[in-house]
Amino acid sequence: MTEHIAESLRLALHQARIAALRKSSKLCVHDGDRVHPVLRLWEDGFSLAAKTAPILRGHVDLYDGSRHLYQCLVVASRVEEDERVYEFKWHTRVADQAPVDFARDDSEAPRVLIPPPL
């Protein structure tokens, strides 16, 4: 069975979906000093609103609110409906601690904490 929806209603529903994606997401892309809200994020890329999205190429940073998630290299973009879709060449998760550049031996770890003098 085929259902027909008026074009104006279909457009209104599509715009409402985009607005809901924009509201629900705290994800954003930092391109230098500019910040752009992310509509969707998946393994190989992300999307921004096509009306306000620039054509990004090169290094960008993805944030969830104030938490830095990924450093990314964007290589391609295209417009699909009202979204500009970007693809990653690579993206690397940002660590919140510096990496350890030596092997830690468990036998060298402290066994007991000495209480401070009274």
The pLDDT tens digits of the residues spanning 96-113 come to 777 777 776 766 666 777
**pLDDT on residue 1:** 42
Using DSSP's 3-state secondary structure scheme, residue 108 falls into helix
For residue 61, which of 53, 52, 72 has the smallest C-alpha distance?
Answer: 72
pTM (two decimals): 0.62
What are the backbone dihedrals phi and psi of residue 102, each rounded to the nearest 5 degrees, phi first? -145, 160
Q: How confident is the model at residue 115 (pLDDT cuts 50, 70, 90)?
A: confident
Using DSSP's 3-state secondary structure scheme, residue 52 falls into coil
Structure tokens at 93: 């998760």
Pair 93, 70: CB distance under 8 Å:
yes
Using DSSP's 3-state secondary structure scheme, residue 93 falls into strand
